[in-house]
Amino acid sequence: MASTKTEVAHDFHPWFRVYKDGHVERFLGHPFVPPSEDSQTAAVRSKDVTVSTTASARLFLPKAAAPREKLPIVIYIHGGAFSMESAFSSLYHNYLNSLVDECRVIAASVEYRLAPEHPLPACYDDCYAVMKWVAQHDGGRPPGSETGPDPWLNDHADLGKVYLAGDSAGANLAHNMVVRANGDGLMKISGLVLIHPFFGNEQPTKLWEFICSDSGGVNDPRLNPGAHPGLLSKLGCEKVLILTASKDFIRERGRSYCEALKASGWRGAVETVETEGEEHVFHLFKPTSEKAKAMMRCLVSFINPTNAPSA
């Protein structure tokens, strides 16, 4: 008789497999790397902070930032089908280093609980906990009187220039964080960056149904916001950048999100940029390619145009 340690209960290859004894096997992912706060050579410093009992973040700061120099802040949410990867993995650590260096921003890369061990909405709640933590750092207070728990954010975060960004499932999370923050009046969001966003497709999504404890089906507003123009019209940010790739298996929902946003009555500015001949999140795996560099230039122009190279 087969052991429950080897009997498969649910198979969601290439993401993960759940065995009958409850343990989860993941097929993709990168090793964790430590932050580099004390590096003498890196252009970007980083450190880890605990936000709540379930959420944490890795902060990134340009090493050349002048004392108390205010910078735009990017709250970045990693992808991985809600079930893989980490803000602490080499893949995302390296990408955030590049993003912070190129854009000249301070960034908080969100570490959230993963499904299936922690079904949705756990990841949404963790991301929002980080947003609330960031919002405590009131950049408008006189020097020395800040109330936020982290000195980097007290000294350098311009809370008048807050950007949410994410790739794949992280883009889904980023969109939903902007919606939730607007509804709660948490903070002003300057812009939203959706990189190869995961908003499902026209067919029932088995993975979503399995990992989401309170799923509303294929048109759940968290999964398919384009089906809810009333919510899109209240998107609480000034501008949106949607990045797609021509060979991405989920690109159509990114495009339809853009069209739904335009038609919703939302008064912000939305831009879509598609990379020809590339697949889903190619920029993470080929960061030095010319197309990945072009994508980074788009991000710099959108988030911090004063740091964009002159034509």
**DSSP-assigned states of every residue in 199-261:** ---SS--HHHHHHBTT---TT-TTT-GGG-HHHHTT--EEEEEEEEETT-TTHHHHHHHHHHH
The predicted pLDDT at position 306 comes to 85
Query: 274 with 298: CB under 8 angstroms?
Result: no
* Per-residue pLDDT band at 205 (split at 50, 70, 90): confident
The predicted pLDDT at position 5 comes to 72
The predicted pLDDT at position 201 comes to 76
The predicted pLDDT at position 140 comes to 55
When pLDDT is averaged across residues 34-53 and rounded to a whole number, the result is 86
The predicted pLDDT at position 217 comes to 85
**Which residue is listed with tokens 């002159």?**
310
Query: 70 with 162: CB under 8 angstroms?
Result: no
Query: Is the pLDDT reported for residue 237 higher than 70?
Result: yes
Query: Is the pLDDT reported for residue 204 higher than 90?
Result: no
The beta-strand segments (E) located in the chain are 8-12, 16-19, 24-26, 44-50, 56-62, 71-77, 106-111, 157-167, 189-195, 237-245, 269-275
Task: Pick from 79-93, 215-229, 295-309 the range whose average pLDDT is largest.
Answer: 79-93
Least Cα distance to 227 among 191, 252, 195, 264 occurs for: 264
* Per-residue pLDDT band at 1 (split at 50, 70, 90): very low
Query: Is the pLDDT reported for residue 138 higher than 90?
Result: no
The predicted pLDDT at position 56 comes to 98
290-to-124, 188, 193, 267, 275 alpha-carbon distances in Å: 33, 34, 20, 33, 11
The predicted pLDDT at position 2 comes to 52
Q: Under CATH, which architecture does the 33-307 domain have?
A: 3-Layer(aba) Sandwich (3.40)
Distance CA 168, CA 179 (A): 17
What the block records as the tokens of 240 is 């949106």
When pLDDT is averaged across residues 54-58 and rounded to a whole number, the result is 98
The predicted pLDDT at position 118 comes to 97
Query: Is the pLDDT reported for residue 39 higher than 90?
Result: no
The beta-strand segments (E) located in 85-206 are 106-111, 157-167, 189-195
The predicted pLDDT at position 288 comes to 96
pLDDT digit string (tens) for 163-189? 999 999 999 999 999 999 999 999 999
When pLDDT is averaged across residues 203-215 and rounded to a whole number, the result is 85
**Which residue is listed with tokens 């809370």?**
159
pLDDT digit string (tens) for 146-157? 679 999 999 999
CB contact burial 91-101 (16+ within 10 A = b; e otherwise): bbbebbbbbbb
- Category of 109 on φ-ψ map: left (φ > 0), alpha (ψ -120 to 50) or beta: beta
**Which residue is listed with tokens 């802040």?**
73
When pLDDT is averaged across residues 201-207 and rounded to a whole number, the result is 73
Q: Which sequence positions are flagged as catalytic?
A: 168
Query: Is the pLDDT reported for residue 195 higher than 80?
Result: yes
Query: 278 with 291: CB under 8 angstroms?
Result: yes
Return the H-helix or E-strand segment holding 282.
helix 282-285
Distance CA 288, CA 231 (A): 37
Domain spans of the chain, in order of start: 33-307
- State the pTM of this model: 0.94
Mean model confidence pLDDT for the chain: 92
Query: Is the pLDDT reported for residue 215 higher than 70?
Result: yes
When pLDDT is averaged across residues 265-273 and rounded to a whole number, the result is 96
CA 157 to chain centre: 18
